[in-house]
Amino acid sequence: MRLLFTSLGSFGHTFPLVPLAVAAREAGHDVVFATSEDFLPQLTKAGLETAVAGLAIRDAFGQGFGQVFGEAGPPGPPGDIPREMLFPVVAKVFGELMPKRFMADLLPLFEHVRPDLVVSEAGNSGGAFAALKAGIPLVSHGFGRVAGDDPMATQIRDAIRAHGAELGIEIGDGLAFGGSFIDICPESVQDPGFLARTRRVPLRPVGWSEPGELPPGVLDKRRPLVYLTLGTAMGHAGVLTEAIAGLSGLDVDVLVATGPSLPEDALGEVPANVRLEAWVPQAALLPHVDLVVHHGGSGTTLGAFGAALPQLLLPQGADQFSNADAVLAAGVGDRLLGAEVTADAVATKARHLLTDPTVRDAARVLSAEVASMPSPAEVAAALPTLA
């Protein structure tokens, strides 16, 4: 088969599709992966054939802020704007700007590639719209837990439905595009409404990250190792500073992935048991970690599920609040919201998560559920039946 994968260009939206795309290529299918130009080097490192489609997310948000706030611009840096004020910008970006650009780029690309099946990442409605317009069989591919009635998710869905109506495409509940949905979220923590209305094809979440060496002190650790990250898009120096202050007072070593959104010197001097890295190969790191303290991004949340790790979530935006709810409900971790993130609170909750056998047992149960899900190779073998 000739397969075209497409996703929004970001770590959290692109990397979840890479294991299946690679497995499909290894199974003998012709695979092309289309996303924004800035993310093509990541896919090339995975050995995939690539094509340019869509806007870089930072460019889309630049346009969205301009259209929503006008010439005056937003009332302060994005990280300091109240979450509710960002809803219209996010809806504009994911419900209109990105879908329109992806459609404009993908329709002519389809003429060149002539795919038998399009695998479109769930956040990229433009990929789904383009496939439906071209009459090509479509499969959606999730990137994590589907947010239920979260206000931001609701505004995005409304904007996508409005865009679909302009194209003459009717969209069902929960953005159902009529085909199967490849779901990398374990069923026990997935949104019940989504499970009830979706033709779900489970796929084990297999972490993928750019190959690289693990930092010193990971493989030969002598005490518990805590991994702290706020991901690649929502780094916040104030939150990280409080978390570092709390964790560094415990009898642990702390590895901090600062990510690309923070300047190198944003955190200043740190205690001796804390190591700062701009980037780490997260998929390779997680098996060596004892606790993950993070933003609640889907990739980190699912990776911790698979590695049977307790989690402390400090959600910053997007689907992270929904993921925090799921972690709490599953008994595999805890959360701190907004002003609750203080050094003392982080230390108290981290100490509990590192020592509570109930949390560890729940994490092992969830890890076993992840391990029982079909592998990328198994789902790749089933792709012809989904078309």
Is 4 in contact with 115 (CB distance < 8 Å)? yes
**Confidence band of 238 (pLDDT split at 50, 70, 90):** confident
> Looking at the DSSP assignment, which residues form a beta bridge with residue 49?
32
Q: What average pLDDT score do residues 305-315 get?
A: 96
Q: Is the pLDDT of residue 318 over 80?
A: no
Class of domain 2-203: alpha beta
Distance CA(129)–CA(100), nearest Å, equals 9
pLDDT band at 147 (very low <50, low <70, confident <90, very high): confident
For 190, 194, 281, the CA distances from 172, given in Å and listed in that order, are 19, 12, 38
Give CA separation, 255 vs 180, 275, 334, in Å. 39, 5, 19
- H/E stretch holding 335 reads strand 333-335
- The token duo for 251 is 């009898």
Q: Of 7, 48, 6, 51, which Cα lies nearest the Cα of 30?
A: 48
Report the amino acid identity of residue 269. Answer: E
Indicate the pTM of the whole model. 0.90
Average pLDDT, integer, range 223-237: 81
Instruction: Measure the CA–CA gap between 253 and 251, rounded to whole angstroms.
Output: 7
Contacts of 226 (CB under 8 A, 6+ apart): 247, 250, 252, 253, 254, 255, 289, 290, 291, 292, 293, 350, 354
User: For residues 255 and 57, which has the higher predicted lDDT (pLDDT)?
Assistant: 255
What's the mean per-residue pLDDT of the chain?
A: 89
Q: Give pLDDT tens digits for 254-266.
A: 999 987 666 667 7
Answer for the pair 373, 203: CB distance below 8 angstroms, yes or no. Answer: yes
Residue 264 CA to residue 279 CA, distance in Å, equals: 11
- Residue given tokens 């299946």 in the structure block: 20
338 phi/psi in degrees, rounded to 5: 55, -120
Residue recorded with tokens 């493989």: 219
Counts for the chain of helices (H) and strands (E), in that order: 16, 13
280 residue type, one letter? V
CATH class of the region 225-371: alpha beta
Contacts of residue 92, defined as CB under 8 A and 6 or more positions apart, other chains included, come to: 64, 67, 68, 159
Spatial neighbors of 178 by CB under 8 A, at least 6 apart, are: 132, 138, 172
The residues near 71 (Cβ < 8 Å, ≥ 6 apart) are none
Q: Return all residues near 331 (Cβ < 8 A) that are at least 6 apart.
A: 358, 359, 362
Instruction: Please say whether the beta carbons of 4 and 16 come within 8 A.
Output: no
Taking residues 235-257, what's their average pLDDT?
90
pLDDT at 233: 58
Whether 327 contacts 301, CB under 8 Å: yes
Residue 121: pLDDT band (50, 70, 90) is very high
- Span 129-157, average pLDDT: 86
Q: DSSP code of 214?
A: P
Least confident of 75-89, 101-115, 119-133, 193-207: 75-89
User: Which pLDDT value is given to residue 61?
Assistant: 84
Domain limits, CATH 3.40.50.2000, in the chain: 2-203, 225-371
Block residue for tokens 């005056």: 72
